[in-house]
């Protein structure tokens, strides 16, 4: 039993294109990771500085939302092509969760 394996040899131009694309992707991931670490440090510093709870909670929630978007976009590879269905379900889940939280916050605060 033999297996016919085809070997595809890339040209130098294709190799350079893939190399540049991967370099750009890695730079974007490292940059977004550094931004997320910085946002986490801001949140910890705000809590440690003893600011008012009414200021800290919305700021931390905003920073968390920014981190979620960065993680979905870069680390879950939503920036790549052919991820429209997965992106639709992820963003639908985010909107559903946001609506759920907003609904229950409204019920608790105004109910």
Please tell me the predicted confidence (pLDDT) of residue 95.
92
The ranges assigned to domains in the chain are 12-80
pLDDT tens digits for range 4-26: 778 888 888 988 999 999 899 89
CA distance 71 to 33: 9
Q: Which residues contact 68 (CB under 8 A, 6 or more apart)?
A: 94
Contact 39, 59 (CB under 8 A): no
pTM above 0.75, yes or no: no
Residue 76: pLDDT over 80:
no
The structure tokens 């940059």 sit at 31
pLDDT given for residue 1 in this prediction = 58
For residue 46, the number of C-alpha atoms closer than 13 Å in the C-beta half-sphere is 18
Phi then psi for residue 19, to 5 deg, are: -65, -45
Tens of pLDDT, residue by residue over 27-75, are 988 998 999 999 999 999 999 998 999 999 999 999 998 998 888 777 7
Tell me the Ramachandran region of residue 91: left when phi exceeds 0, alpha when psi lies from -120 to 50, beta otherwise: alpha
Do residues 110 and 84 make contact, with C-beta atoms less than 8 angstroms apart?
Answer: no
């Amino acid at each position: 039993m033999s297996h016919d394996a085809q070997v595809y040899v890339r040209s130098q131009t294709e190799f350079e294109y893939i190399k540049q694309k991967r370099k750009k992707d890695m730079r974007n991931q490292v940059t977004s990771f550094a931004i997320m670490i910085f946002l986490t440090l801001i949140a910890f510093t705000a809590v440690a500085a003893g600011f008012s709870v009414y200021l800290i909670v919305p700021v931390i929630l905003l920073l968390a939302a920014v981190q979620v978007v960065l993680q979905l976009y870069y680390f879950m590879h939503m920036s790549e092509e052919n991820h429209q269905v997965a992106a639709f379900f992820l963003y639908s889940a985010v909107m559903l969760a946001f609506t759920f939280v907003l609904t229950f916050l409204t019920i608790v605060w105004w109910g």
